[in-house]
Structure 1
């Protein structure tokens, strides 16, 4: 890899290089995603950083890529940004010369996400995009593609930073740091940022003034401390949760009510996805009663979004009235890229090698934790140890995901079954073998490593 840099317990740091006069190229792999327009709007908030540069969109979906390309040009024009928009079906062309590469491919599309959800449910297991056996199957499809992308980036754009949104993000990060330990790579998830956003609304302050002490893994961690302008406001939030807890317990279990309940019970703010583990039976019953899965709903919803995007692309002053996802999603990606482009040290929750920041997890493996990000890389912020029971659950989830990463990288069915047995949302043999085999068969087109 070109350029000086190092990976250590203090994170990843490159030797800063002069960039004056550079024509910066930003690339989005998975650029036809319905998430892309809002990410572009986020980038345009700091468009002066990229003046004279290029925004390159890459995807294998040519029809939707053309829609997003037209919309991107309209948004850039309306913002008065000096930014050239290009689009290509050629991934190597998109990567070459890039300085920042945002990765968000969805291997198999929403149709295969629906299989990730439906096949486990058929056997009485939670079907979810990133958790349990559904998340394991998504990792089998995504990890080989992401490793190809990282290899291509190191060859064609060795100084580029990869900012990853591809799910299941934690397992993707684990695979990348195993295969490419020196990669300029940061994994992201918008859940911690969504927590900041919700807490900001509660406290009636800009969510950017909120910082989290977060320790765990992707979709499995705890916030031990919430800071507002550096002041610890966790006790204030605990009083709020204690007051709302009885009401939340009477309402249907969802992301917000589940988060409040867990906060009240554990005294720490949970990653909202922890509800799948602590309220597994209730959530499974709800999923089994549903007329369609989340993916089946999204297949219809996303087509509506593309129609809206096509209409907006033709407007003189384009305004997005429909969105895919929470504002925290686009804000996080654009703010991380801006912090690195401007060499502006900023605190985020990221995914990378834990390097001891999360005490109960192996330091050489991927974790999710608070860190300072700037133009040279990332520096972990060591987190306090979690209580024993909470730490044990996260360690078990992590151990099962690490096994599944090996299964995806090696094409090893036996490791996939072992991971399924160990995972708290998995199953004992022989059911684990049966579900794994059905998922392998359903996704065979995208799993050449298992052949």
Structure 2
């Protein structure tokens, strides 16, 4: 019989929390729980989600003790795993991350370019605080961090918490592989055994095999050259692609692929390879943050309130998503020694032979009770190496700017971003971001 686990979801008020709860409930045979806790510093927002999830748990898994709290000691005491997906500043600050760069003709995106840098400066102290809570109240626990921007957060935890039990993860490759599985007729993205290297939201696949060892790349490349990761017809089974902005992102992979047809690109590379095109097709008055607030957030919260008012979740529309599946799979591998092969963001230490040892790279790892073991991806081509080193320098400068409270280093980071055309534009964006983030950033000198 598997040992039952205690989990706290940090960011209990997130629109993704209900999906994680559904996945946890559906996987009690693989990852049984004794306790599930929510923690959020916004108690009012968390209550909306928690009231609905309390009903779901009572009806579907009443053996699980459920607690929702804003008190760190109550949340982090006696837990085995911290599943963290916080958004410091919420969606309103995400909106500024997107709109301020666009005002200057630069990509406005939550994890890429100046917007991602601004978000990173806010996320660092928030994630570090969670690590400290975990280490104070449950020092043997693992933190599975899903908070963005993952590369900047990973670099910060590498420096500030080098001995902490934290694993930084991202579900974008999982979502892409699900789309690929649909394209080539596999039942699940987990049926694909891949080789991949890069930084978070900045990587390439070099190999995809099925479980029998058959090469899937020729068929996949033929499709991507025509349609990107989008479907070849209007019908598709990927719920992510129901949103126009995500469909465009998946289809744009066709152009990113054309830059190097020897590999398959992460969808986020469009922001670095085609920033002018992204800006041209962006509405600076209605960005992705507005879209989320108008659609996903409104829909999720309305369903939470409907369930709470009805007193039953018998007909709830909540479903477990790819992000939830990935985080539960990772926790199970750590708890039960299953040696899953998963893409994680880890210190390089030679996994990519011609990148710095201290780079926080995203590569396949074997996950067990020992933690994670990165697999060697070898020497990567000059094009990818050059792009990665530039972006890596950006991310390291952001963390240095945070630690040193350095305006100059943050200016250098924004100037070096491939999405920004000049130091003049970088300074104008930075000055606007400094003003917008006064409540969140350290005072820069």
1:17 maps to none
Is the counterpart of residue 98 in structure 1 residue 93 in structure 2?
Answer: no
Out of 321, 325, 329, the position equivalent to 2:317 is: 321
Structure 1 residue 169: Cα displacement? 0.8
- Aligned residue in 2 for 1:224: 206
**Partner residue of 1:146?**
127
Q: Deviations over 1:111-137 (max 9, x none)?
A: 111111111111111111001111100
Q: CA deviation at 1:244?
A: 4.7
Provide the secondary structure at the position in 2 that maps to 1:172. Answer: helix
Query: How has the CA–CA distance of structure 1 residues 429 and 80 changed in structure 2, closer, same or farther, with 3 Å as cutoff?
Result: closer
Q: Which residue of 2 aligns with 1:306?
A: 301
CA distance in 1, matches of 2:367, 2:106: 38
For structure 2, the residue ranges without an aligned partner over 5 or more in a row are: 233-243
**Cα 1:375/1:82, change in 2 over 3 Å:** farther
Would the aligned equivalents of 2:183 and 2:231 in 1 still touch at CA under 8 Å? no
Q: Counterpart in 1 of 2:69?
A: 88
State the 1:315 CA deviation. Answer: 5.0
CA contact (8 A) 2:79 2:141 kept: yes
Instruction: Give 1:55-70 correspondences, 5 Å limit.
Output: 55-70=36-51
Residues 1:273 and 2:265 aligned together? no
Taking the TM superposition and a 5 Å limit, the aligned residue runs for 1:417-436 are 417-436=411-430
Moved more, 377-386 or 411-420: 377-386
List aligned pairs for 1:211-360, cutoff 5 A. Answer: 211-229=193-211, 230-242=213-225, 244=227, 254-267=248-261, 268-287=263-282, 289=283, 291-301=285-295, 302-313=297-308, 314-321=310-317, 327-360=321-354
TM-score by length of 2: 0.90
1:33-61: CA deviation from partner (whole Å, max 9, x where unpaired)? 01000011111222245546110000122
Partner Cα separation in structure 1 for residue 384 and residue 78 of structure 2: 44
CA contact (8 A) 2:346 2:374 kept: no
Once the two structures are superposed, what CA deviation does each residue of 1:270-291 show, in whole Å capped at 9, x if it has no partner? Answer: 110001111111111111x464
C-alpha spacing 1:436/1:331, structure 2 compared with 1 (3 Å): same
Moved more, 383-392 or 273-282: 383-392
Superposed, 1:58-137 pairs within 5 Å as 58-80=39-61, 82-137=63-118
After TM superposition, the structure 1 stretch with the greater mean CA deviation from structure 2, 180-189 or 62-71, is 62-71
Q: 1:101 to 1:194 in 2, by over 3 A?
A: same
Determine if the alignment matches structure 1 residue 204 to structure 2 residue 198. no
Residues 286-336 of structure 1: CA distance to partner in whole angstroms, max 9, x if unpaired?
11x46411112222221332011121343534344267xx92212111211
SS of match in other structure, 2:53: helix
Aligned to 2:238: none
RMSD: 2.4
Report the counterpart of residue 5 of structure 1 in structure 2: none
When structure 1 is superposed on structure 2, of 414-423 and 40-49 the one drifting more is 40-49
Verify the 8 A CA contact 1:223 1:270 in the aligned structure 2.
Answer: yes
User: How many angstroms does 1:71 deviate by?
Assistant: 1.9
**Structure 1 residues 198 and 81: alpha-carbon distance in aligned structure 2, compared to 1, 3 A threshold:** farther
Find the aligned partners of 2:340 and 2:55 in 1 and give their Cα distance: 30
- Verify the 8 A CA contact 2:2 2:32 in the aligned structure 1: no
Superposition deviation, residue 446 in structure 1: 0.9
Which deviations, in whole Å up to 9, do the C-alpha atoms of 1:357-376 show, x marking residues without a partner? Answer: 12332122211111111222
The 10-residue stretch of structure 1 (400-409 or 157-166) with the greater mean CA deviation from structure 2: 400-409
Helix, strand or coil at the partner of 2:123: helix
Shift in alpha-carbon separation, 1:319–1:173, aligned structure 2, 3 A? farther
What is the rounded CA distance, in whole Å, between the counterparts of 1:394 and 1:380 in structure 2?
18
Which whole-Å CA distance do the structure 2 matches of 1:29 and 1:328 have between them? 18
**The residue matched to 2:422 in structure 1 has which SS?**
coil
**1:200-250, Cα deviation, whole Å (9 max, x unpaired):** 1112222211122110000100001112114332123223334557x999x
Q: 1:265 to 1:432 in 2, by over 3 A?
A: closer
Q: How many residues are paired up?
A: 427
Matches within 5 A, 1:157-196: 157-196=138-177
Partner-residue secondary structure (3-state), 1:224: strand
C-alpha separation in 2, matches of 1:382 and 1:91: 39
- 1:243 and 1:442 map into 2 onto residues whose CA distance is 41
CA displacement, residues 169-204 of structure 1 (integer Å, 9 cap, x when unaligned): 111011001111111111111111012101111122
Partner Cα separation in structure 1 for residue 435 and residue 224 of structure 2 = 45
Match in the other structure for 1:15: none
* Structure 1 pair 333–401 and aligned structure 2 pair: CA distance change class (3 A): same
CA contact (8 A) 1:420 1:427 kept: no
* TM-score (norm: length of structure 1): 0.89
